Structure 1
């Protein structure tokens, strides 16, 4: 096997042969997916860095890998000795990829990449920054493919259909809504390349990306045409027939590029003018797609309307998600009980603990697979935000400190994502102090009541304030949207204090959006703590307590208010708390949550597990701290 240094040397020879002065390798597949199938892991192959986010830039004499705060520690370790410089994106003094290229390229040079794996938005940013140097882009190259001798094949796993009892809306009705959005934008058609949008729209699910139930495909939707570009071998006869009934025609996966080149001939339009207008989302559509569209076609780059439709779960999806989280709560609660009763009496490692948790989920009816690779991080490993144990890093758990477990599952009823930081034994005062502050922030955000029009940037302070009070912080978002039996991370809802620098803001919170609530703290070399539940945004009920009559008219005039309904039901570790750091209101929130945990989860446990859960969820007060 070649070393990273040898791979870089071969790539540079390829660059010379094709007249490329810089080569960019993203983490993306052809659909701007967050996680990608084995075929697409070119950046991992070239750099050795295995994180889910990062971009490698290779020049004749240097190379740099850009990644975000979730992966700084991991990337630093995996890039050691590779000659690749780690660029900590978002940190003071660290350039963007475009700025880095600008600083390292002479005028009239060429930046190469595989245009199918670079978003139109990213390509536009490069052109915008490098334009005054007359640097050009070549998006027709896949140089890594020429080096990767044993590259895995493109995935083509079977697709299955979700019945109405899980989706709450038919494929035909969804198409009506999408077509209406195209017309309202004054356009004739839309290109859809985001895999989760296609899966949601068609009420189909697949398995072409680990832990993401999607399938490789594109769609081209017009008023009277609906084309699905897919390897039809992954569709059974019944699904093929039902798609045809809904007016959806099947075409080979890669034919999308050919059809876009002859776009005016492909789509049917009744407009009197010959001018055709097509919509695409530059943050999701790849550079090659845009390059194929003729100049005679008007292209409008705007966010896909499907993203917001998909994020607002309907009543059927919401009720199913509640049921999925009961099942998941039972599995994780059983796991915590098992762990606390076996730690110190038998050998348990990070990997074996993750396997045990998976076995509890498999006992639940309707369970399909994990929604992402389980983070099972003991002690110092907990400080690596997205640490995933391997055979090389796997360590034995001891009856001391914390095990941070971030995991989730796909059920027929929906997708879950939960983090619990579990006490394994004796804790230091600083571990308890940090645990308590993070939990306060988590509870504060979960209790938020806010006016319609609020975005995640407005809510983030609720979770970070207990840490910011002491000059502490965590280097990741506080919340992300979650799909319905789809990607565990989805937009447009997001909670983070940083206003996104990209041209598109985060979404206003709407009724039906599911978002994570997951503040944390990470002390490198010591420990990491994160508390995560999923919450459902919904219209707020009447305010608690009696309001003076003089204010009643004011409340009616102030518009719609929203609040969060907690979906996740698993106890927090009260033996890790310092109750004196919490206000009475914060303790009340914790005790009310634990009361609900016991009521919802206890009926599904054994007698021994119920007795333990009753103790684990017993009220906590400043005068008496129950130790279990």
Structure 2
């Protein structure tokens, strides 16, 4: 019996002991985080799936794993199809599948600290039609059978200084208090880790790749706050930084303190707070107002200091990436390099800056067919050599104290085929169309997505991921609420108006299964545009990421004069920003890469 088969059997045995007929296991923690600490990696432990989004449903005879288009190939590589049915989201959902497959009259368990209130309502309704019920558990059954489950991190909190944050924490809390008064509310619960980090100007090391700390907070209408964190994580400088207006409690006291909010009007974000928080407040007699908490938008609209920090981080990161791209152009054709050796070399170039705090996500280092796996993560088992006459895709980023980076480049090893050049140029044309877009204030990300896909669509091609996500300031590399993606399926963020100061990615791609992957990703800043004669405010994008785009993959005959000029102007800017940071062979290579088309 394989390891994961044994774990699935152990879970079924535990469910039987708990008088449950099924259970749902999402990739999630108590804060609805995208990336979670090792202690919360229940789905990976149970199934072997290493992606950052997905869920599983376990019944006495059947079990299914649910992933979106980014993980269609990956899930089949990592999860045993003899044990698990592969289900595609949004074509189906956990709730819909349970509604069709749960035993009649069955009891399906869920951990109320790992699901939203909306999901609970949806699943309850789907099961009711089957005569089954959804049952909240006090202790997660996966935790009962996971013998060496890691402990939550004990890393100390660190202060994020005002010279990097651009605003002090007291002013941020006062702004939240003013918002509460306008909403006739007494308090707001903050459970999203990046919202807490931003509000209190603190950072942590509790989640890999995202500099946040495991904590909760309740901010009140008088601008004071209750802050819940494990006592061993506090340091004297953090306590001094938080000040007397922030009352610090043990993280374990959070739910018990709901009783203090009896009769109070309390805002809770239904997208970012788990169902246990809603139920706990209801049971305590609070008057709950489900609405988006105010930090989400405030955090997304970067202030001038954060924008300056981003520019500095991008310039530094662009130089590290450019050194890597030269290295790979020289070393890969010699043979002997692999996905792992390449990603290690890129990390070394970033570490040479002396300012790298962490990667912003696990590097996607995909050679040949592995480049077609959208969120591929190399392992010793999947590690491929970088072979001649193939494509290599590297999507990576760094966490620096002044900014978070995310950039993708596609590199030919040897000679690319004409098909590769055609597909790459179509992706580039879409990237340029989005980068050059000018649009009226109030435009949503979902309205811009087509610009990036149009040249692929002309050839009957597409890609199964969004075109752009928000990015934080030394915070989460995937930050809401803004997003550029197809609006179909009600994807979160596609209906969010873009506002000046927001940072997003611009990353169209193309993936040929079992052959190669292509993606070109830069980060862009939403800026106000001065358009003569405009009858309403107009916005556009300023590109923030600077590293050469592979010219050997560009079919120049497919570009318009405007597109060629964009590439030449972009490369001139790369040379201006990155060039002074390079010397010798690196500088000479960059000059050749950035010569006009």
* TM-score normalised by structure 2 residue count: 0.97
Name the residue aligned to 2:567.
590
Which residue among 352, 355, 358 is the counterpart of 1:366? 355
Unaligned runs of 5+ in 2: none
Task: Indicate the residue corresponding to 1:407 in structure 2.
Answer: 396
Partner of 1:62: 62
Whether 1:277 aligns to 2:276 is: no
- In 2, distance between residues paired with 1:134 and 1:288? 24
Q: Is the CA contact 1:228–1:251 (under 8 Å) kept in the aligned structure 2?
A: yes
State the match for 2:448 in structure 1. Answer: 459
Question: Which position in structure 2 is the counterpart of 1:300?
Answer: 289
Which whole-Å deviations, capped at 9, do the CAs of 1:383-433 have from their partners, x for residues lacking one?
A: 000111111111221232211000000111100000000122111111111
> In the superposition, relative to structure 1, how do residues 292 and 261 fare at CA in structure 2: closer, same or farther (>3 Å)?
farther
- Once the two structures are TM-superposed, the CA of residue 114 in structure 1 deviates from its matched residue by 1.5
How far residue 255 of structure 1 moved from its aligned partner, in angstroms, is 1.1
The match for 2:87 is 87
Q: Which moved more, 1:216-225 or 1:123-132?
A: 123-132
SS of 1:565's partner is strand
The one-character-per-residue Cα deviations of 1:232-268 (angstroms, maximum 9, x if unpaired) are 22121121122133x001111121111114532xxxx
1:605 to 2:582 alignment:
yes
Equivalent-residue separation in structure 1 for 2:184 and 2:217 (angstroms): 19
Indicate conservation of the 8 Å contact 1:120/1:284, yes or no.
no
1:53 aligns with 2:53: yes
Distance 1:260 1:133 in 2: 34
Match of 2:106 among 109, 112, 115: 109
Within 2, Cα distance between the matches of 1:117 and 1:466?
40
CA distance in 1, matches of 2:517, 2:491: 30
Alignment of 1:43-192 (within 5 A): 43-90=43-90, 94-133=91-130, 135-140=132-137, 141-192=139-190
Match for residue 237 of structure 1?
A: 236
Shift of 1:130: 3.3
SS for the counterpart of 2:217 is strand
Q: Distance in 1 between matches of 2:205 and 2:320?
A: 23
Aligned to 1:18: 18
Any idea what SS the aligned residue of 1:480 has? strand
| 1:362 to partner: Cα distance | 1.0
Instruction: Return the match for 2:337 from 338, 348, 364.
Output: 348
| Structure 2 CA distance for aligned equivalents of residues 304 and 128 of structure 1 | 27
Q: 1:459 to 1:504 in 2, by over 3 A?
A: closer
Tell me the SS of whatever aligns to 2:77: helix
Distance 1:108 1:185, change over 3 A: farther
Q: After superposition, give the CA deviation of every residue in 1:199-220 in whole Å (9 maximum; x if it has no partner).
A: 0111111110101000100011
Verify the 8 A CA contact 1:263 1:294 in the aligned structure 2. no
Partners of 2:588 and 2:77 in 1: CA distance: 44
Greater shift in the superposed pair: 220-229 or 147-156: 220-229
SS of the residue corresponding to residue 292 of structure 2 reads coil
Q: Please state how far the C-alpha of 1:50 moved relative to its aligned partner.
A: 1.2
Say which SS state the counterpart of residue 454 (structure 2) adopts: helix
Match of 1:328 among 296, 317, 325: 317
Per-residue CA deviations over 1:112-147 (Å, capped at 9, x if unaligned) read 112111122321222243344554332224001111
Q: Give matches, 1:478-489, under 5 Å.
A: 478-489=467-478
Aligned residues: 594
Q: In structure 2, do the counterparts of structure 1 residues 345 and 107 end up closer, same or farther at CA, with 3 Å as the change threshold?
A: closer
The alpha carbon displacement at 1:468 in A equals 0.8
Q: Is the CA contact (8 Å cut-off) linking 1:500 and 1:506 kept in structure 2?
A: no
Query: Which of residues 266, 289, 299 in structure 1 aligns to 2:277?
Result: 289
User: Does the CA contact (< 8 Å) of 1:5 and 1:82 recur in 2?
Assistant: no
1:271 equivalent in structure 2: none
Secondary structure of the corresponding residue to residue 516 of structure 1: strand
For the residue of structure 1 that corresponds to 2:517, the secondary structure is strand
| Shift in CA distance, 502/576, structure 1 to aligned 2, threshold 3 Å | closer
Instruction: Please identify, of 218-227 and 128-137, the stretch whose mean Cα deviation from structure 2 is larger.
Output: 128-137
Structure 1: runs of 5 or more not aligned = 265-274, 544-551, 621-628
Of 284-293 and 129-138, more deviation after overlay is shown by: 129-138
Greater shift after overlay, 121-130 or 209-218?
121-130
TM-superposed CA distance for 1:172, in Å, is 0.2
Task: Return 395-404 or 585-594, whichever deviates more.
Answer: 395-404
Instruction: Give yes or no for contact 1:139–1:287 (8 Å, CA) kept in 2.
Output: no
2:215 aligned residue (195, 214, 217): 217
Alpha-carbon shift at residue 299 of structure 1 (Å): 1.0
For 2:130 and 2:381, the matched residues in 1 are separated by 46
Which one of the candidate residues 530, 547, 551 is aligned to 1:570? 547
Aligned to 1:267: none
The Cα of 1:291 is off from its aligned counterpart by: 1.9
Alignment partners' CA distance in 2, 1:582 and 1:362: 37
Partner-residue secondary structure (3-state), 2:376: coil
The aligned counterpart of 1:515 is 504
Q: CA deviation at 1:504?
A: 7.4
Matched, 1:311 2:300: yes
Moved more, 212-221 or 98-107: 98-107
